[in-house]
Structure 1
Amino acid sequence: MTKISIITINYNDLVGLEKTFNSVVGQSNTDFEYIVIDGGSTDGSKEFLEQNSDKLAYWISEKDSGVYNAMNKGIKAAKGDYIMFLNSRDFLIDTTIIDKVGKDLDGSTAIYYGNLIYSLNGVNTQLWSPPDTLSFTYFLSDSLPHPSSFIKRELFDTHFYYSEHFKIVSDWEFFIYCICKMNASYKHLDYVISNFDNSGMSSVKENLIKIDTEKQQVFEKHFPLFLEDIKVLKDGNSQRFKQYQAIKSNKFKFTLLKGLMSLLLLFQPKVKMKRYITKI
């Protein structure tokens, strides 16, 4: 039977750790291993782990260099076929979910991903349901949240562990590289897996510039031949383009828009088209 390793990353969040811990150890199917990587907390988290060490396959409490350093420690300690990250404050949607997921993980697919509920300060805000078919365009603006994803353990050894020099996008980098460049197989599990606390680093508005900078570095590293194409795809994903599509669906508005564009083009210098001739 396929075995799952559930990994929780925690730092000075005892309340969140207890919530996550209880949702995991309370599962009806206990045929999985549970790992907790604590970053040297001083709020009682370490003592909580000591008191509940009998329910953990592995745990450690020591300083780390960041979230992805901690996640990599968890991967290295994991012995399961698939890895799931359920960090402090995130929790499994009910007590039967691991039993349900375990029946779907037959080992034939590299990445399984399900639905989740976003919450903020304990209040459910949004149901997130990803598409069945993933694409490069999809990953330009979205990702697969780790609390609803199950990643084949061997993918990390075959390709790479999470990049520790990034602060926010390393899990996104892993998914876009494996799926869009290495053609890793994937499957959507169309049911809710977990509740995701939407107050982390990637959800803070002040970090949006950092996210764009790190994503650009990923594109330059893994997809250097497609940088110009990525700019076009980003334009296609922009709010302005979506507005254009909405106008296009209305015959009267689209006719009016074309008229305005024709008028503006009268004052636009003509663009010379380059011609490429191949000699035989």
Structure 2
Amino acid sequence: MNIIQPFAKQPLVSIVTVALNAEAHLAQNIESVRGQTYPRVEQIIVDGGSKDGTLDVIERYKNVIARYVSEPDNGIYDAMNKGIRMAGGDVLGLLNADDFYPRPDVISQVMQTFQRTGADAVFADLVVVDRARPERIVRYYDSSGFHPGRFAQGWMPPHPTFFVLRKHYETLGLYRTDYKIAADYELLTRFLARHKLVYARIPRVLVHMRSGGVSSRNIMSNWILNREIVRACQENGIQTNMLRLLCKYPRKFLEYFRRPDLEVKR
């Protein structure tokens, strides 16, 4: 197990944001990063060559964005890798263009958790919100039941809440671009199960994610997702099959009815 010593100084946190035709929601994303109380945060934006007003939004915020690029890419995971390579932080997180941090103390709490626990990675809870009405919670993704054995059941921590020390991307690798939908699943499986990074969980909602992600569009997408989850597990030494993945659906169904106790977790 790779237990690290607490940080000797206040580290830089890089937030990588991948965007494509994200004009409608990118400003809220940037404002949520800009408003963080943690003093050392940079945001990297990787735009895949948007045709709407995304670049106008980026131009409007160019003084608060550390670095950005706008060019065609080979998919979302290629764009994520590009952003990670551009980032200068000691700790990296990813926040897609439609998503946002609900409070200004999110990154401060993440960094306090790294400091207190000496973990390699930190994750938390997430809520999926209505795309047009983000104040309306659609689904509560509670990460409290996670342990690496759950990967075999198709269950992982909420990827947008996942922060990890930069050095682990450098030693364990980036996102696999030969996956269409589940490269995030493969990376977390590789980091937390195969290489057994030490992780800590924050029992609090840290990200609001708008509904309609790439892996939740239709039956075919879910079929591809589950096939790739089986592959990700097998390539990282975890035995599973499509039948075992059915175990995740009752829990996932209940997520649409549960709600976080925001008063307790504040």
TM range (shorter): 0.7 to 0.9
Residue pairs, 1:172-183, within 5 angstroms: 172-183=185-196
- In structure 1, how many angstroms separate the alpha carbons of the residues matched to 2:52 and 2:158? 27
Shift of 1:212: 1.7
Residue 29 of structure 1 corresponds to 38
Which of the numbers 1, 5, 13 marks the counterpart of 2:22? 13
- In structure 1, how many angstroms separate the alpha carbons of the residues matched to 2:245 and 2:146? 21
Q: How many residues align?
A: 236
- In structure 1, how many angstroms separate the alpha carbons of the residues matched to 2:42 and 2:144? 29
Which of the numbers 219, 233, 244 marks the counterpart of 2:233? 219
Shift of 1:114: 0.9
Which of the numbers 81, 84, 91 marks the counterpart of 2:100? 91
Q: TM-score, normalised by structure 2?
A: 0.81
- In structure 2, how many angstroms separate the alpha carbons of the residues matched to 1:132 and 1:138? 12
CA contact (8 A) 1:144 1:172 kept: no
- In structure 2, how many angstroms separate the alpha carbons of the residues matched to 1:238 and 1:34? 34
Residue 264 of structure 1 corresponds to none
- In structure 2, how many angstroms separate the alpha carbons of the residues matched to 1:161 and 1:178? 10
Distance 1:42 1:239, change over 3 A: closer
User: Are 2:128 and 1:118 aligned?
Assistant: yes
- In structure 2, how many angstroms separate the alpha carbons of the residues matched to 1:62 and 1:196? 25
Residue pairs, 1:1-280, within 5 angstroms: 1-106=10-115, 108-121=118-131, 122=133, 123-131=136-144, 134-138=147-151, 140-206=153-219, 207-223=221-237, 227=239, 230-231=240-241, 234=244, 237=247
- In structure 2, how many angstroms separate the alpha carbons of the residues matched to 1:209 and 1:239? 13
Shift of 1:3: 2.3
Shift of 1:13: 1.3
Identity of aligned residues (%): 25
Shift of 1:133: 5.0
- In structure 1, how many angstroms separate the alpha carbons of the residues matched to 2:192 and 2:105? 29
- In structure 2, how many angstroms separate the alpha carbons of the residues matched to 1:138 and 1:219? 7
Listed one character per residue, the Cα deviations across residues 145-194 of structure 1 (whole Å, up to 9, x for unaligned) are 22211111111111111011111100110111111111111000111111
Distance 1:23 1:188, change over 3 A: same
Residue 249 of structure 1 corresponds to none
- Give the number of the structure with larger relative contact order, counting CA–CA contacts within 8 Å between residues 6 or more apart: 2
- Give the partner amino acid of 1:203: S
- Give the partner amino acid of 2:161: S
- In structure 2, how many angstroms separate the alpha carbons of the residues matched to 1:95 and 1:116? 16
Q: Which runs of 5+ in 1 are unaligned?
A: 241-280
Helix, strand or coil at the partner of 1:92:
coil
Helix, strand or coil at the partner of 1:80:
coil
Segments ≥4 residues shifted beyond 4 Å: none
CA contact (8 A) 1:39 1:63 kept: yes
Q: Which runs of 5+ in 2 are unaligned?
A: 1-9, 251-266
Listed one character per residue, the Cα deviations across residues 88-129 of structure 1 (whole Å, up to 9, x for unaligned) are 111101122222322222282111001111113233112222
- Give the partner amino acid of 2:149: F
Q: TM-score, normalised by structure 1?
A: 0.77
- In structure 1, how many angstroms separate the alpha carbons of the residues matched to 2:12 and 2:36? 14
- In structure 1, how many angstroms separate the alpha carbons of the residues matched to 2:248 and 2:118? 36
Helix, strand or coil at the partner of 1:202:
coil
Larger mean CA deviation between 195-204 and 214-223 belongs to 214-223
